A and B are shown apart, each in its own frame.
Chain A
Amino acid sequence: MGEINKQPGRLRAAPENFLSEAQIKDVAAGRRDFLRKSLFAAGAAGAALAAPKVVRAAEGDPNILENPPWTTSLGQPVATNPYGMPSKYESQLLRRESPGLARVGGASVSFCPLQGLFGIITPSGLHFERHHQGWHDIDPSKHRLMVNGSDDSLLKKAKVYTLDELMRLPSVSRIHFIECGANTGLEWGNVAVPTVQYTHGMISCSEFTGVPLKVLLEDCGVDYKKARYVLAEGADGSSMTRTIPMEMVESGEVFVAYGQNGEMLRPENGYPLRLVVPGVQGVSWVKWLRRIEVGDKPYATKDEAVHYIDLLPSGQHRQYSSIQEAKSVITTPSGGQTLLDKGFYNVSGLAWSGRGRIKQVDVSFDGGINWQTARLEGPVQNKALTRFNISWVWDGSPAILQSRAMDETGFVQPTYGQLRKVRGTKSIYHNNAIQSWKVIESGEVSNVQVL
């Protein structure tokens, strides 16, 4: 494990406490010359400072024995950072692209760093991105939402709303996950990417605030008998369009959101307006929403007739596949990480279902032969990420970690074998197979697929 053994704050008998791994090995091998030299050098360089530290290290952790600067000096005043940023030590968890996945940044994906996030809310700045023709920062005073009908008989009056007006209407705030239909799509055929950021990072979860779409449609006098579909359209260059079933609008689930995690949506997530379609793949959550059309037929738009169609072994493509079925993944520990040491670990992960609430998550440490039920961190919410935790004592021997979600409909997340049997390996979309992480003796965790 090399450098990983250098865990701060651990006390070891002198001289190990202030020696490097290599030096300890030298001591063990009987080579002590360097010790005298290095102590002499330390003394010569700064006798007054270095020497007492070395001596006192044997008494305990110098971070405790000697108060650090932040405990012995004045800190910074309020509003030094009017918009607060993460600590300077938090520079590693970033949205990242997967090399080779797309050749144009404007039609690409950046993945959310699930490997280091806690709870269920995704920090807005780390929310995954998927754009179809680049993103813009739209002037909200110039943004409009139009509601019209494919036919005049479907709606009494086509209307236009400004942000001023939309934000006067009764609002709802709800926590929902958004997952790209292609999440885990790289792994349909075989293991392809090393970490959970790239296997599962096209998912995020936020509290969204906005107006139920039914409020707007009813304000325009929609005829629900005739208008059974909704077309949502974005204001970006691609003016992305998707068909939404009216049943989801009538239930009050679908809403036009402007708020995300207490502030306005981020530009990359659709500022100032996006559609929220709980449980349905992200492409339907149209960003920079500018138009809603009610219609009597589905639309077969580019993203439901050329892309976001699931190829089956028969050569047929599934069209209008929208729901994200129950799925889960262990985020700690996960691929591309190395365990610090043997002993106790809190194994933690995320579970979600586009069909409702998560009922149970089971975890296996032996590749799916035996399972134990994990703790769900509540309250468990409808079509939201659910955090699960389970205790594990690693004895240093190889293990394969898996999680398996069950939702309130009783549906159980499938294995790779079960999923491929019905959908083959070229589907690209809607891969909700059980994820496996292999742990080897060195503590290194890697991505494997168990059938």
Chain B
Amino acid sequence: MFRFSKPLFVFALFFGSTVAIAFENYSGVGRAATPAEVKAWDIDVRPDFKGLPKGSGNVERGNELFEEKCASCHGSFGESNEVFTPLAGGTTKDDIKTGNVKGLSSGELPQRTTFTKVATISTVFDYVQRAMPWTSPKSLKPDEVYAILAYLLNLQEIVPADFVLSDKNIADVQKLLPNRNGMTTDHGLWPGAPAKKGGIGNGGKPDTANKACMKNCKPEVLIGSTLPEYARTAHGELADQYRSFGPVRGTRTLGPEAAKKAANAGTLELATKSGCMACHGMKSKIVGPGYSEVVARYQGQTDAESRLIAKVKAGGQGVWGSIPMPPNAHVKDEDITTLVKWILNGSK
């Protein structure tokens, strides 16, 4: 406070909490960011391509990179639904013309992919650059991001196979996205200024208008849907998800057969927690073999269990191709035994 002149001090006392705080009032707090620091962290790319790094990449290079860094989760053609929802597919040549993905309204689309939704290619550039690949985010150089985007755009038949995507032409490509006209901000769920004042949305006007009726509000009760039988037990034993005392009890939902299933679900959870499911599918190969493939290979071998336990522990290479299985020192021995037994029992 010694730096303030007296009149300013009085002013601050009176209006302390509401007055706009002058620049550098909090003496000794914070410091200027260096240009290198800002450059290191400020990597965002906006729809007007502010923040876009210079660079370029072609479809072919993108294909190589995608196979190497992305396909284990997304499938070779961005079509896989195994780990994440699909990236590519679901749009037509006509959608590229209109800028509205028809399948979204016609109901013909079995599942939305990234390209059936996204209206701005800047979004995909920004996200791949900041968050991909899944296990080593921010490791891609700008040219690699351009190449991977070029490959995805080619998969979506937005650009030809010999296309080179660059900071020079990415804005033109954005104008070809199949769902570029598919976003609306005409709603009441934006908490800032409305569109008519330079912001977004309709100024908070809700789209439903229920009334707080108190008596005889309707002639009858229409039930739209009840809990399906399979869903009653899909979340395990509900009796164990509430206290053993109190005004109610958790409903006992599992019989002995279902309890066994739940125990197996517990093992699946253990497999997920231990990181197994990132590379192995239940049936088919992701990076490593699917569990039913493992069972088929080791069928009838009496030492299968001990051999697999050793393999899971120490890792291995060669049996299923060139990609090595990493050692799993972080998984407890007893858990490895549980997991191997579960896999050999059909992982059901």
Contact = CB atoms under 8 A, between A and B. Distances in A.
Say whether A associates with B. yes
Contacts of A265: none
A191 B225 contact: yes
A302 B224 CA distance: 34
B204 A323 contact: yes
Interface in B17-68: 20-26, 28-33, 37-38, 41-42, 44, 46-48, 50-51
B327 interface: no
A291 B42 contact: yes
A19 interface: no
A191 B231 CA distance: 9
Given A239-B131, A336-B241, A317 B224 contact: no
Nearest to B120: A300
A367 B26 contact: no
B238 interface: yes
B191 A248 contact: yes
B127 A309 contact: no
Contact of A323 (B46, B190, B265): B190
A430 B223 contact: no
Given A305-B119, A315-B105, A416-B224, A92 B242 contact: yes
Contact of A157 (B32, B222, B242): B32
B211 A161 contact: no
B277 interface: yes
B247 interface: yes
Nearest to A373: B214
Contacts of B209: 412, 418
Interface string A91-123: 011101111100111110000010110000000
B101 interface: yes
Range of interface residues on B (Cβ < 8 Å)? 35 or more
A336 B238 contact: yes
Contacts of A367: 221, 223
A229 B245 CA distance: 50
A259 to B, nearest CB: 18
B104 A315 contact: yes
Contacts of B25: 219
Contact of A194 (B134, B183, B232): B232
A148 B42 contact: yes
Contacts of B105: 313-315
Interface in B122-173: 122-124, 126-127, 130-131, 134, 137-138
B200 A450 contact: no
Interface in A239-256: 239, 241, 245-248
Interface residues of A, number: 141
B131 A246 contact: no
A306 B46 contact: no
B42 A413 contact: no
Interface stretch (B248-256, B301-309, B312-320, B340-348): B248-256
Contact of A103 (B33, B82, B104): B82
B182 A316 contact: yes
A340 B248 CA distance: 5
Interface string B225-266: 111100110110010111111111111110000000000010
A99 B265 contact: yes
Given A318-B187, A336-B238, A89 B244 contact: yes
B85 to A, nearest CB: 9
Contacts of B190: 245, 320-323
A297 B48 contact: yes
A400 interface: yes
Interface stretch (A24-32, A77-85, A230-238): A230-238
B83 A103 contact: yes
B240 A158 contact: no
B210 A158 contact: no
Contacts of B278: 104
B78 interface: no
B208 A422 contact: yes
Contacts of A220: 23, 30
Interface stretch (B7-15, B110-118, B290-298, B328-336): B110-118
Contacts of B238: 194-195, 336-337
A270 interface: no
B206 to A, nearest CB: 6
Contacts of A306: 114, 117-118, 123-124, 127
Nearest to A222: B23
B213 interface: yes
B235 A297 contact: no
B127 A302 contact: yes
B208 to A, nearest CB: 4
Given A306-B118, A319-B184, A336 B246 contact: no
Contacts of A246: 192
Nearest to A420: B224
A218 B245 contact: no
A299 B227 contact: no
B326 interface: no
Interface in A326-385: 332-333, 335-340, 345-346, 354-355, 360, 362, 366-373
B109 to A, nearest CB: 9
Interface string B170-190: 000000000000111101111
A44 interface: no
A31 B338 CA distance: 46
Contacts of B249: 4, 337-338, 340
Given A104-B83, A237-B131, A301-B123, A333 B247 contact: yes
Contacts of A241: 44, 126, 130
A228 B185 CA distance: 17
A138 interface: no
B186 to A, nearest CB: 8
Given A104-B83, A133-B134, A157-B32, A339 B41 contact: no
A427 to B, nearest CB: 11
Contacts of A165: 28-30
B212 interface: yes
Contacts of B51: 150
A206 interface: no
B104 A219 contact: no
Contacts of A325: 189, 206
A160 B33 contact: yes
A412 B105 CA distance: 29
Contacts of B112: 311
A451 B200 contact: no
Contact of B210 (A8, A229, A412): A412
Given A158-B38, A319-B119, 16 more contacts: A160-B32, A160-B33, A193-B234, A194-B238, A219-B29, A241-B44, A245-B190, A315-B101, A315-B102, A319-B184, A320-B185, A320-B190, A336-B251, A337-B248, A406-B212, A412-B212
25 contacts: A103-B84, A105-B272, A105-B273, A156-B23, A159-B33, A194-B234, A195-B235, A197-B241, A218-B20, A231-B44, A238-B130, A241-B44, A245-B191, A247-B193, A305-B120, A306-B123, A306-B124, A311-B112, A321-B189, A333-B247, A360-B212, A414-B208, A417-B222, A446-B232, A447-B226
